[in-house]
Amino acid sequence: MGNYTIAVLPGDGIGPEVVEQALRVLQVVADRYGHTITTQKALVGLAAIEAEGEAISDATMELCKRSDAILFGAVGGTQHTTGPRSKVSPESALFRLRKELELFANLRPIRTVEALLNTSTIKAEVLRGVDMVVVRELTGGIYFGQPSEIRETEHGTEAIDTLIYSEGEIERIVRMAFELARGRRKHVTSVDKANVLSSSRLWRRVADRVAQEYPDVKLEHLLVDACSMHLIRRPASFDVIVTENMFGDILTDEASMLAGSMGMLPSASLGTRKTAYGTFGFYEPIHGTAPDIAGQEKANPLAAILTLALLLRYSLGLTREAAAIEAAVEAVINAGYRTEDLREEGKAVIGTKEMGRQVVEALARQQG
Ligand code: NAD
């Protein structure tokens, strides 16, 4: 039994719709296991711009910093609401959160569910048993290195980006991957381009050094081009993949296709700060605000509900509770319930709230 505080930032579009269902599930889990979990809601994104004049206010940042974790929906609107004439972008909230909370590690777990194997564009036999976590470095590398500019020279226009990593930045993310692997199948795949890039050669050197402290975990090195191929050829062979920012950006999108729908995928961004029970983190489904279906009861809340499971596991240390939520989601899918994005012949298509209710009921059934 414990006392925990979660900052809840539902955001825009379908964000509030799916977060509401995750909070319903949280209430049931807290009651069942006897935890006191305090949630405090605040505005973010377009909703905050309209009410408070900025994408995330100082007061909301303070709330986040005081909490054990942040549960986030999504931010952003349509071209119409966030066109070139608007001064503040809703996404700037995300950049401020990442920077000020030092969220350096992005985790994307990808697990296939047997009953959904046929909804993917990839063959079921290849997808069966996929259960991996991609750990992407989030605050360094070529997206942040300076100089980064287009400039005029006497030979014409040229452009430069800078890919820079320090040993410390590499070490903390690789270490996180090894720690994760210890609680899983004890296999880390470190992805780089060490045949060409100096930053990758340092990456590999640091990964080898960190690996010596984890003799129980197997380390494999893969070049990024080979990894992109193996992700669709033998995805079930991966356990934990760790890689730098840009490679991770590309590989996580590729890996997400293994799960079929975006409406099923959670993510966590972890920082340097420890909580009393785990690591402080920011948790969001990977999908956006889906303006095309917002307000129509069509959004799949399962990504948000699975996101809550990650929050419980990594920031609150509640692994049993997290596993119970994941099992409940799987049970609902196996029972044939689908939201619009997972529509399948012969299966019952239900709305956002009803899907949330089904998960709550599946949790209650576990109680026996
Ligand atoms: P999106 O993820 O919002 O939607 C892409 C497609 O997937 C749409 O057809 C949508 O209906 C569908 N979809 C997404 N989530 C779903 C769910 N839970 N259930 C059922 N269907 C779902 O991406 P987009 O359309 O490129 O972006 C829309 C807005 O969201 C933009 O303003 C974008 O900037 C923003 N966005 C925000 C985040 C974030 O907050 N982290 C991430 C991505 C996009």
In the chain the domains, ranked by start, together with CATH numbers, are 1-110+260-368 (3.40.718.10), 121-243 (3.40.50)
* 21 CB within 6 A, ligand 1: no
Q: Which pLDDT score is estimated for 79?
A: 60
Q: Which pLDDT score is estimated for 368?
A: 54
Pick from 180, 171, 161, 230: nearest CA to 205: 171
Do 334 and 114 form a contact (C-beta atoms < 8 A)?
Answer: yes
Positive or negative torsion for Cα 256, 259, 261, 267: negative
Which atom of ligand 1 is the closest one to the Cα of 293?
Answer: 11
Which atom of ligand 1 is the closest one to the Cα of 290?
Answer: 3
Length of the chain: 368
SS3 223: strand
Give the separation between CA 11 and CA 19, rounded to whole angstroms.
9
SS3 87: coil
* 306 CB within 6 A, ligand 1: no
State in Å: Cα 333 to ligand 1 middle.
22
Q: Which pLDDT score is estimated for 147?
A: 97
Look-up of token digits 């956006």: 288
Q: Which pLDDT score is estimated for 120?
A: 83
**Global model pTM greater than 0.85:** yes
Look-up of token digits 């920031």: 315
Q: Which pLDDT score is estimated for 1?
A: 67
Q: Which two tokens stand for residue 55?
A: 């994408």
* 76 CB within 6 A, ligand 1: yes
**CA-proximal residue: ligand 1, atom 33 (nearest):** 76
* 260 CB within 6 A, ligand 1: no
Give the separation between CA 266 and CA 61, rounded to whole angstroms.
22
Q: Which pLDDT score is estimated for 367?
A: 64
Q: Which pLDDT score is estimated for 80?
A: 57
Give the separation between CA 252 and CA 245, rounded to whole angstroms.
10
Please state, in angstroms and as integers, the Cα–Cα distance from residue 92 to each residue in 29, 48, 349, following that order: 33, 11, 35
Do 68 and 276 form a contact (C-beta atoms < 8 A)?
Answer: yes
Do 145 and 162 form a contact (C-beta atoms < 8 A)?
Answer: yes
**Which mean pLDDT values do the consecutive 10-residue runs of the chain (368 residues) have?**
91 98 97 95 96 96 97 87 66 92 95 87 94 96 95 97 97 96 97 98 98 98 98 97 96 88 91 90 96 96 98 96 96 94 86 98 86
* Residue partners of 292: CB distance under 8 A and separation at least 6: none
What is the set of active-site residues?
143, 193, 225, 249, 253
